[in-house]
Amino acid sequence: MMQLQECGDIVTSRLILIAITPETIQSEKTGDNRLGELIGCTIPANWPPVDWEPHVLDFFLTLFDQHPNQIGWFRYVALPFSDGFRTLIGTVGGGFIKPEAPHEAEFGYAVLPQFEGRGFTTEAAKAMVEFFRNNERINSLIAHTFPSIPASIRVMEKCGMTYDGEGKDPGTIRYRLQLRPPK
């Protein structure tokens, strides 16, 4: 069960997904050690996740410049209830509506290795699927992974997504969930 908070945060049964802001992105990008203070949690030493692509932070900042009222659309950080929201464990987000596919959103997720295998990634991903399902502009949801990461494929399948062909980057595959009939 997902609940959207007034501030844009999402609460699930075991997680709070906190919407990032330009300030939190800038902190993460510069490594100024304020991210934990801004979010109100501890940042593990192995943050960000190993497969995180730093150029995405610049992309998010550009999106916020273009769409300053869209906090909650781009990325969330995940904190578990089990430790009283003290530890940042992962990230989930997306929603990049593209001009060439205006009714399609893409999302992604990552969790730190010490929190894998507990269902947190699936829970966060399912919350994002519901977030997109509740947006009438989005008909189709996609996600990409490598075929060599079966845990990621399993997360997508648990979200109802199915294999949809080769991905946009070399060696990747795409999964899709049709949320409603195409417009």
CATH code for the domain in which residue 49 is found: 3.40.630.30
pLDDT at 179 over 90: yes
Tell me the pLDDT of the chain averaged across its residues.
85
Average pLDDT over residues 63-79: 78
Q: Total structural domains in the chain? A: 1
- Containing structural domain, residue 139: 3-178
d(CA 128, CA 134): 10
pLDDT at 4 over 60: no
- Helix (H) and strand (E) counts in the chain: 5, 9
Structural domain contains residue 169: yes
Which position has the higher pLDDT, 60 or 73? 60
Sheet strands (E) in the chain: 3-4, 10-11, 15-19, 76-80, 90-94, 104-111, 140-145, 162-166, 173-178
Structural domain contains residue 94: yes
For residue 97, what pLDDT is reported?
Answer: 61
Structural domain contains residue 62: yes
The first and second tokens of residue 128, run together, are 């994002």
Using alpha carbons, select from 48, 58, 126 the residue that is nearest to residue 88: 48
The first and second tokens of residue 75, run together, are 């990325």
**pLDDT one-digit tens code per residue, 110-149:** 999 999 999 999 999 999 999 889 888 889 999 999 999 9
Structural domain contains residue 183: no
Structural domain contains residue 144: yes
Rounded to 10°, the helix 22-30/55-66 angle is 150
For residue 178, what pLDDT is reported?
Answer: 95
CB 67 within 8 A of CB 73: yes
